[in-house]
Structure 1
Amino acid sequence: MQFGVFTVGDVTPDPTTNRTPTEHERIKAMVTIARKAEEVGLDVFATGEHHNPPFVPSSPTTMLGYVAARTERLILSTSTTLITTDDPVKIAEDFAMLQHLADGRVDLMLGRGNQAQVYPWFGQDIRQGLPLAIENYHLLHRLWHEEVVDWQGEFRTPLQGFTATPRPLDDLPPFVWHGSIRSPEIAEQAAYYGNGFFHNHIFWPPEHTKQMVELYRQRFEHYGHGSADQAIVGLGGQVFMRRNSQDAVAEFRPYFDDAPVYGGGPSLEEFTSRTPLTVGSPQQVIDRTLSFREYVGDYQRQLFLIDHAGLPLKTVLEQLDMLGEEVIPVLRKEFDALKPSHVPEAPTHESRLRARSGETAH
């Protein structure tokens, strides 16, 4: 089981001080969070991709390359890479380069994004979002698995005898997660290729998450990649912790009430009762996270959002200390004890190389 954090890179005023960090401060804070994640024993740091204010991570591979040079063990990922508005050729080359620089500590999550205005900025039509996601990944898959590609599709100029450079490290492309909150077509796509499926799991009730993951598992088995319980599943989540649950609620409330994604909606109490958002003690976070297995089955990756809504960096680093010292060790032990032996671990470059060698030997 892999544990980590993901960031959306929002530049949001702190509602308790009315201070807004500069873009420079926010970018540097994201790097600090990544390095702290490795220090406290987490496995993964993932950054979103956005091209509009108030977000700053417009170039994820630039940031992850910088983080790669300052870490040794951390898996570097995205949450999300925009498969609809990014050119698949550029994705293929950028992530292969990052893969070499990071010695294989790289994977990526593909998604459509949720900002409609981004599509025309990159010459695309949001009404074609799903066909774009399907066609662009098909091309990306070929670019990584075939050295010379001839291509003609609906949404980009044709390719003739094209080779993406550099080639993936060890001729093994980065592992791909397909991220979706509500699109069955994306769960189907992940299953078809035998890739991972990541459900953000922040804004929707457990019943919805269960339905999406079950669909992916069933289709994964249908396409012959293994049994349904061997499908590769990742979940998002959001937590805020203090030693005392009442203190956690009191401290987080102004951030929840003023956050662009929450403010004006259900109360904090209503939202935490209906969704996986957990605000409380470390033990409450442990109990809530362990309960995810009850409706998605054994899964491979759990990422937490801990740094948005204007939370100051000092507070975020305190959250990481609690995750690393009190929460993750217990979750690792409990999840490992529950997982059947035939259910795979989260894929890494090394484990996939070993699997390929074993297949070749037979």
Structure 2
Amino acid sequence: MQFGIFTVGDVTPDPTTGGAPTEAERIRATVTIARKAEEVGLDVFATGEHHNPPFVPSSPTTLLGYIAARTERIILSTSTTLITTNDPVKIAEDFSVLQHLSGGRTDLMLGRGNTGPVYPWFGQDIRQAVPLTVEHYGLLRRLWREEVVDWEGELRSPLQGFTLAPRPLDGIPPFVWHGSIRTPEIAELAAFYGDGFFANHIFWPPSHTQKMVETYRQRFAHYGHGSPESAVVGLGGQVFMRPNSQDAVREFRPYFDNAPVYGHGPSLEEFSSLTPLTVGSPRQVIDRTLGFREYAGDYQRQLFLLDHAGLPLKTVLEQLDLLGEEVVPVLRKEFAVGRSPEAPAAPTHQSLLRERDTRAAKAKP
């Protein structure tokens, strides 16, 4: 399994001090967080894409390209790249460049986006969100896989004789995860193409995540990509830890109560009981995360949200120390116990390259 973190890049005042970082400080802090994630032994760093305040990651590949130059091992991904409002040609170009810069340490998560005003800002209609997703992704796949593309759709101008430059590294497109909170059509799209499915898993109860993942696994098998157990699944999660669980709850409560997304709603205790949010000791985070397998099956990628709601950078780095030193080593060991032999490892550029070369060798007379 792969373990990592994702950021939404919010610029939120610290409710305990009233102070907030500048946009420049928040962007630089994100780079520090990504480098720390590699330092403590995590596998993946992913950034969201937002085009409205109070968020700063409007250009994920620019940010990830800079992080690629400051890191050596960690996989750089997104959470998510907006397939609806971005042009698929630009997505193909940007991530091909990022592949080359990072030496293949690149994949991406595609999503529709849930901020209504963003659609007209980029000349799109939110009522066409699902059709845009399907059409744009169909074109994106071809751009990465075909030397010359002639294409015509309904929601974008046609292409004639288009060749992507640069081509994907080693001729291997970045692995694609399709991310969704609540849309079964996205699980269907991931299953149809045999791509990965990432259940956001941070706002809904386990029963909802279970239903989405089961739908994806069943349709993955229906389309002939393998057994349901061989489908590629990722999950999100939210944690806040201190060695003592009471200290964790006391420290995190003001951040939860004032968070721009779920603040001023259910209590911390209510939200923790209804969703995967875990606030407590490292052992509690381990036990809760191991429980995800009970309803999602053996899966391939676990990403945690740590740096939101105005938490100071110092606190986020302390969370990463706990995650890397006390939580992830145990999760790696425990998730390996009883794992189905049909459950694949998480895809990487190197594993996809090996698979292609193996297929080519078998095809030779």
Q: TM-score range by the shorter chain?
A: over 0.9
Residue identity in the other structure for 1:73: R
Aligned match of 2:281? 281
Alignment gaps of 5+ in structure 2 = none
Aligned match of 1:26? 26
Residue identity in the other structure for 2:68: A
Report the alpha carbon displacement of residue 342 of structure 1 after superposing the two structures with TM.
Answer: 2.4
Q: 1:75-94 to 2 correspondence within 5 Å?
A: 75-94=75-94
Aligned match of 2:309? 309
Report the alpha carbon displacement of residue 114 of structure 1 after superposing the two structures with TM.
Answer: 1.2
Residue identity in the other structure for 2:308: H
Alignment gaps of 5+ in structure 1 = none
Report the alpha carbon displacement of residue 30 of structure 1 after superposing the two structures with TM.
Answer: 0.3
Report the alpha carbon displacement of residue 154 of structure 1 after superposing the two structures with TM.
Answer: 1.1
Provide Cα deviations, 1:216-251, integer angstroms capped at 9, x if missing partner. 000000011110011000000000000000000000
Report the alpha carbon displacement of residue 337 of structure 1 after superposing the two structures with TM.
Answer: 1.8
Aligned match of 1:213? 213
Aligned match of 1:361? 361
Provide Cα deviations, 1:239-275, integer angstroms capped at 9, x if missing partner. 0000000000000000000001111211000000010
How far apart are the structure 1 equivalents of 2:249 and 2:293? Answer: 25
SS at match of 1:190: helix
TM-score by length of 1: 0.99
Aligned match of 1:204? 204
Report the alpha carbon displacement of residue 358 of structure 1 after superposing the two structures with TM.
Answer: 1.2
Aligned match of 2:165? 165
Residue identity in the other structure for 2:152: Q
Aligned match of 2:246? 246
SS at match of 1:339: coil
Q: 1:44-55 to 2 correspondence within 5 Å?
A: 44-55=44-55
Aligned match of 2:135? 135
Report the alpha carbon displacement of residue 4 of structure 1 after superposing the two structures with TM.
Answer: 0.2
How far apart are the structure 2 equivalents of 1:95 and 1:292? Answer: 31
Provide Cα deviations, 1:266-322, integer angstroms capped at 9, x if missing partner. 100000001000000000000000000000000000000000000000000000000
How far apart are the structure 2 equivalents of 1:119 and 1:43? Answer: 32
Residue identity in the other structure for 1:182: R
Report the alpha carbon displacement of residue 336 of structure 1 after superposing the two structures with TM.
Answer: 1.2
Aligned match of 1:231? 231
How far apart are the structure 1 equivalents of 2:211 and 2:356? Answer: 32
How far apart are the structure 1 equivalents of 2:355 and 2:88? Answer: 27
Residue identity in the other structure for 2:162: F
How far apart are the structure 2 equivalents of 1:37 and 1:264? Answer: 31
How far apart are the structure 1 equivalents of 2:154 and 2:249? Answer: 50
Report the alpha carbon displacement of residue 53 of structure 1 after superposing the two structures with TM.
Answer: 0.3
Report the alpha carbon displacement of residue 360 of structure 1 after superposing the two structures with TM.
Answer: 1.2
Aligned residues: 362
Report the alpha carbon displacement of residue 215 of structure 1 after superposing the two structures with TM.
Answer: 0.1
Following TM superposition, the consecutive aligned residue runs of length 4 or more in structure 1 with deviations greater than 2 angstroms are none
SS at match of 1:41: coil
SS at match of 2:38: helix
How far apart are the structure 1 equivalents of 2:224 and 2:58? Answer: 37
Identity in percent: 79
- Please provide the CA RMSD for this pair: 0.5
Aligned match of 2:182? 182
Residue identity in the other structure for 2:76: L
How far apart are the structure 2 equivalents of 1:213 and 1:194? Answer: 14
SS at match of 1:105: coil
Provide Cα deviations, 1:1-40, integer angstroms capped at 9, x if missing partner. 0000000000000000000110000000000000000000
How far apart are the structure 2 equivalents of 1:306 and 1:114? Answer: 21
Aligned match of 1:7? 7
Provide Cα deviations, 1:96-129, integer angstroms capped at 9, x if missing partner. 0000010000000000111100000000000000
Q: 1:288-299 to 2 correspondence within 5 Å?
A: 288-299=288-299
How far apart are the structure 2 equivalents of 1:337 and 1:166? Answer: 42
How far apart are the structure 1 equivalents of 2:93 and 2:308? Answer: 30
